[in-house]
Structure 1
């Protein structure tokens, strides 16, 4: 069986470790390597992860980059399968890692497999709906030929819980060294264009969701807009996100009505307008001064 590495970027993860460490200890798959990249945590994260058996590499917080840091991790690991997990993604059952590892190896052309993300137990209505919309209960393998049907969703993936075939990752040049985020879609798109497949494995599950405030949502979409504005090849090959955004908006409006909260429909519309504003500002970021970009971004350190 192929060697497997578990890769976990962290920063001040203490509040998540009470759930994450027992969930990892209960896994039926024991990774051959466990690498933690710690970005100058000021809590006891590093000590707790070392005590749990992880190898910890320190990364300066000022040097953290969603693509570059994951690229560093891939270069430090020798395993054939690299499982990336974020500190707030909690395996939902003891077979989560094994099922994801098995999914990326199920067919010879699968380059990456990503798992299903369930809402956190305390998730709000909209945060939970976003997870159900993007992570359905049925698995699917996506190939380049599916772009005509799926559009931008063809290269949708998530490094919150994803397993890469190391050889495939290397074959497409690895993670981008400098990217504000959405590095998972970048790599998935490169894999698809190179003939590899992307697997969504609904049976490999973690609890992972966010309840973003209105301004947080706008800032998050500013960063997404920056990414897609710079990586225009994705739209050329897979289409734009507009149609998917309209479908999500309709589903959100239906979700609040179905939950007996129709008074939240104006909030949903305002949230959608702010996301669109953030996305368009991000797309036009080359015209904005650095000080404004730092204020608009969820990752102001990126604009150092």
Structure 2
């Protein structure tokens, strides 16, 4: 069971800074930003407190405003790194003696972590782990990563625990950048950015370094389902022990980290992603290992949907947007006209909702937001065709020439759009081939997991959550 988050406010001195992508509107009376995108209207008193891009907590009023900005994703903590002397490092491991030695050496060479207590949980390795200077907890038979992490957390004697997988190597300063976030009494977990360890091996190394499933990107974020950072991987986490309760779900051998994060958020806790803290990870070395790992990740979707219905939907789309796309893709001129009409009506309704008291509806601004939403939903639909629902797309392509053309066009366009931000790191052809193979593997795992669970809910679209 996950404990409920406390009602405690942010402490005095805790500082937040507006996200660089946040935009002020209506003379500073509203802030536009966050993920999902939202418009936050400020009272006159709040506008007086937030005169610049930073807000330091100094009383209850500023604490409430700072918390609202954090929870909306419009602002992020602006904290100075500091020592983390109340942390135990927990390392789950199974049959990775070389990687474990490398990780322990990295911890010992960093002055900030050299004296921290370390608990290594040997999850049934063929050769029992021996690690001088650290505490070893051994499972005689493998019980899985969730059970190993829970055992390490129970063995820790500090209020905070840093989980590190054995194939990771933390970069200097990682923990000092994470630790100040836990001054927020409602923060349960903060995660660093996971980056590639070295140049990597295999022809797909450049692609994996650019868009690894473990790398949540370069922007700080509040973590929540349906946002730009919907989860954080357990390869490296700093957690508050009291918040986790019984910890990871030991019945899950995949996606147990996503489940934990979503349970914490549902219980009122905050979870954050801090990309300025970095931990390097040794990515798979062969094509077969890489694709098996992607398929394995896919099998977790059905397990997550059983625990968090609708949170893993491959496409999240408002009904009016779905109708507009259906009409536009009908292939008829009348469908295109009707689609434009649906979007115009949506724009008009949104403009009315966005207008402040006594203001004219901002039709142009509303049209921009609708266009952005339609574009994002279009990319999600394309991704669904090539990733989540490729067995259906392939079946249609086998019997229809028109479907073949559509599927081929979507596959090329999806790869091209995704490649542009990473064009300096990997070539277009290699990126496209790797993306298509990754999607095939993930989709195969997704369908296999759904079949094993006897439920197709993880394959179904969903409406946006309010």
Smaller-chain TM-score bracket: 0.7 to 0.9
For 2:382 and 2:291, the matched residues in 1 are separated by 14
TM-score (norm 1): 0.77
For 2:263 and 2:453, the matched residues in 1 are separated by 24
Q: Which runs of 5+ in 1 are unaligned?
A: 288-304
For 2:449 and 2:266, the matched residues in 1 are separated by 25
1:158, 1:184 within 8 Å by CA — same for their partners in 2?
Answer: yes
1:68 aligns with 2:151: no
Q: What is aligned with 1:296?
A: none
Q: What is aligned with 2:184?
A: 107
1:246 aligns with 2:412: no
Higher helix fraction: Structure 1 or Structure 2? Answer: 1
Partner of 1:195, secondary structure, is coil
Please, which of 417, 421, 438 is the counterpart of residue 271 of structure 1? 438
Partner of 1:157, secondary structure, is coil
For 2:169 and 2:217, the matched residues in 1 are separated by 18
**Residue 122 of structure 1: CA displacement?**
2.4
1:20, 1:90 within 8 Å by CA — same for their partners in 2?
Answer: yes
2:86, 2:159 within 8 Å by CA — same for their partners in 1?
Answer: yes
**Residue 257 of structure 1: CA displacement?**
5.7
Please, which of 158, 165, 174 is the counterpart of residue 233 of structure 2? 158
1:1-304 maps to which residues of 2 (within 5 A)? 3-17=86-100, 19-27=102-110, 28-30=112-114, 32-42=116-126, 46-47=129-130, 49=131, 51=132, 53-61=133-141, 63-93=142-172, 95-103=173-181, 105-123=182-200, 124-131=205-212, 134-142=215-223, 147=225, 150=227, 153-154=229-230, 156-170=231-245, 173-211=246-284, 213-233=286-306, 236=309, 238-241=311-314, 243=380, 246=383, 250=415, 253-254=419-420, 258-259=424-425, 261-264=427-430, 265-286=432-453
2:232, 2:258 within 8 Å by CA — same for their partners in 1?
Answer: yes
> 1:240/1:214 Cα in 2 relative to 1: closer, same or farther (>3 Å)?
farther
For 1:108 and 1:240, the matched residues in 2 are separated by 31
Higher Cα Rg, which structure:
2
Say which structure, 1 or 2, has more relative contact order (CA 8 Å, 6+ apart): 1
TM-score (norm 2): 0.52
**Residue 97 of structure 1: CA displacement?**
2.4
